[in-house]
């Protein structure tokens, strides 16, 4: 089994690189990133991947406020936007190309590929009512 491990790891790396190079769809929004993907090889069994979303990346839209109103995530993390309110809301980061409208009872996902820093987000329809928050992206 140990003699086959380098072959398995090599095949996995080649497969991941081919998949990344052939990807035609891009769900990322926001400013472009100059980060270069890193490929790491290992001879250990791969650890389970974390679920696609977690509590740290979920923002609930409630009537006239976000929950949580302040969120810190790694740059490039996928955010799950859940509209639990009775009205249509948006997740908008002005000047960064992010403006996602989510109807009541629906959800959406957005990957904000922005430089590290803190960005104000708000609902275009209810900003004057205080429906805004802060997204801090780490490097």
pLDDT in tens, 43-69: 333 333 333 333 469 999 999 999 999
User: What are the phi and psi torsion angles at 8 (to 5°)?
Assistant: -65, -45
Tokens of residue 40, six digits: 């790491």
Domain ranges for the chain, please list them: 55-138
pLDDT averaged over every residue in the chain: 73
What pTM was estimated for this model as a whole? 0.61
The number of beta carbons lying within 10 Å of the beta carbon of residue 98 is 22
Tokens of residue 49, six digits: 């991947």
What is the fold of 55-138? Immunoglobulin-like (2.60.40)
């Amino acid at each position: 089994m140990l003699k086959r491990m380098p072959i398995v790891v090599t095949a996995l790396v080649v497969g991941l690189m081919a998949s990344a190079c052939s990807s035609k769809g891009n769900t990322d929004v926001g400013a472009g990133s100059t980060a270069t993907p890193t490929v790491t090889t290992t001879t250990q069994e791969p650890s389970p991947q974390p679920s696609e979303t977690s509590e740290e990346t979920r923002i609930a839209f409630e009537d006239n406020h976000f929950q949580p109103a302040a969120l810190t995530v790694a740059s490039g993390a996928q955010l799950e936007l859940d509209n639990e309110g009775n009205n249509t809301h948006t997740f908008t980061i002005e000047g960064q190309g992010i403006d996602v409208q989510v109807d009541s009872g629906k959800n959406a996902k957005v990957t904000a590929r922005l430089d590290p820093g803190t960005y104000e987000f708000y609902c275009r329809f209810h900003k004057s009512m205080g429906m805004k928050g802060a997204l801090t992206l780490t490097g």
